[in-house]
Structure 1
Amino acid sequence: MKPSPDLFEPASELHWPQVRAWLQADPAHLVEDRALLEELGLKTTGPNVVDFGRAALTRLEAVVEREAGARKQIEAVARANFAAQTQTHVAILDLMEARNHSDLARRLDASVQGRFGLTSAAIAIEKPGAAPFGWRLLEAGGVDSLLGDDGLAWLGPVFPGLNLFGALEDEVRSVALVRMNPHLPGEDMPRPAICAFGSPEPEGFTPDMGCELAAFIARVVERMIERWPAPGA
């Protein structure tokens, strides 16, 4: 009979095929070493029999714990999304009570502060033409300069020269800008505009975020703008 390899020789290099062959030839070294079995989470239930139940149960418990943690995280995200959607719907109902362009801008600003914890919100529209009281007036091409020629929205850190939030500009750390193109009654063509949201947190708006809720509010504002004639019309 071929002798089992001596794994304890100083010059020996351990490799799994050798270790496996050694255990097959000398199983007693494993099954009789209770301290090692305890460290491995194993126990013997009879001659040459090793019970892997404890080790398997430990692995199963770890899997269950990971799955429970992931489920809790998903549930927390779902609750946060539901709360945000609910607040958005309530904010929309408030915007629909606006009586004119200026009241619309005031309600938008108050809603995002009270319901989403943002610093401010603003409506800006391009020249030519006047802007209602409480709005910001942009030079022609100002929307494209902020969003790009084909850009519909931009989320990220605030940048110098934005000038959309008035006295609260210095408190804004990140912004969401959404393109609008309202057609005011009494004007020949739609005018490029922006619905802007400012957050006090640097990570309040980031480029990898979705902007569905901000875009939804902007679409409602865009339609509301078209309810009243343009200033001076």
Structure 2
Amino acid sequence: MSGPRDLFAEVETDPAPHWPDVRAWLQANPQTLLDDRSLLEEIGLKPHGRNVVEFGAAALTRLEAVVTRESDARKQIEAVARANFAAQTQTHVASLDLLEARNHSDLARRLDACAQGRFGLAGAAIAIEKPGGVPFGWRALEPGGVDGLLGDHGLTWLGPNFAGLDLFGANEDQVQSVALIRMAPIFGGGAAQIEVTGVRHAICAFGSPDPEGFTPSMGCELVAFIARVVERTAERWPILT
């Protein structure tokens, strides 16, 4: 009669036993493992009498890994929340500063200063289509220029800077990505007013020194809010020619 297989004897001849064989042998000889307390302790298991094995160490290790992952995720969420709160606060303060502008030129200067000082951008600019006067400090666009940049019905465009934009003056070389927001201010009477609707097509542009500062997948609520403040503030005064 042949007795049970001696797996340890087989290991001596085959240095790489297969796990199905090892598993089957342990199932057939469980007491051998339970009696080897030193081996159980080495693999993180704690024996408690006959046929009882505590998996506390292994379970605790898994639990600690879960807690660590949850803690890291919570820290990331908290960091994003703090960054969003700080950005919103800076946006509100910048809006108050823009509302104190005295004229169109002062508005453009304040916008550029806020973009650099409060948001760490390379600059910001206001561009408006001709015909009609272009305030000092604003950029002039040819008729249809806004649609050319944003599309016929586009409201915003976020992405890398591109050749020919040329809205940021001396800081143009620093701009790696841009956010462009459509505006349609209605200026008060005078020769600058367009006869039919009174609307002048314009854009509010923000330039970042970071290639990932503005990307197509990014939300643009804050810069759009700033653009709306610029748009409404600019309507206070007629454009002088």
- CA–CA separation in structure 1 for the residues paired with 2:108 and 2:42: 68
What residue number does 1:138 align with?
141
What residue number does 2:218 align with?
209
Q: Is the 8 A contact 1:4 1:21 kept in 2?
A: no
Question: In 2 relative to 1, CA 150–19 (structure 1 residues): closer, same or farther, beyond 3 Å?
Answer: farther
Cα deviation digits, residues 140-165 of structure 1 (max 9, x gap): 11111111122111111111110101
What residue number does 1:91 align with?
94
Q: Is the 8 A contact 1:176 1:196 kept in 2?
A: yes
Say if 2:197 is the partner of 1:197: no
Q: What's the secondary structure of 1:195's corresponding residue?
A: strand
Q: Unaligned 5+ residue runs, structure 1?
A: none
Q: What's the secondary structure of 1:46's corresponding residue?
A: coil
Output the TM-score relative to the length of structure 1.
Answer: 0.90
Cα deviation digits, residues 72-117 of structure 1 (max 9, x gap): 1100110010000000000000000011111110110111111011
Cα deviation digits, residues 200-222 of structure 1 (max 9, x gap): 11111112211110011001111
After the TM superposition, which residues 16-95 of structure 1 pair with which residues of structure 2 at under 5 Å, given as runs?
16=20, 20-95=23-98
Work out which structure has the larger RCO, using CA pairs closer than 8 Å and 6 or more positions apart in sequence.
Answer: 2
Question: In 2 relative to 1, CA 49–165 (structure 1 residues): closer, same or farther, beyond 3 Å?
Answer: same
Q: CA deviation at 1:230?
A: 2.1
Question: In 2 relative to 1, CA 46–165 (structure 1 residues): closer, same or farther, beyond 3 Å?
Answer: same
- CA–CA separation in structure 2 for the residues paired with 1:209 and 1:221: 21
Output the TM-score relative to the length of structure 2.
Answer: 0.88
Q: CA deviation at 1:48?
A: 2.1
- CA–CA separation in structure 2 for the residues paired with 1:221 and 1:6: 85
Q: How many residues are matched? A: 230
Cα deviation digits, residues 175-228 of structure 1 (max 9, x gap): 111111111112232111110001111111112211110011001111111111
Q: What's the secondary structure of 1:206's corresponding residue?
A: coil
What residue number does 2:239 align with?
230
Percent identity among equivalent residues? 72
Q: What's the secondary structure of 2:48's corresponding residue?
A: strand
Question: In 2 relative to 1, CA 133–3 (structure 1 residues): closer, same or farther, beyond 3 Å?
Answer: farther
Say if 2:134 is the partner of 1:165: no
- Root-mean-square deviation (CA, aligned residues, Å) is 2.1
Q: What's the secondary structure of 1:122's corresponding residue?
A: strand
- CA–CA separation in structure 1 for the residues paired with 2:32 and 2:240: 93
- CA–CA separation in structure 1 for the residues paired with 2:185 and 2:7: 82
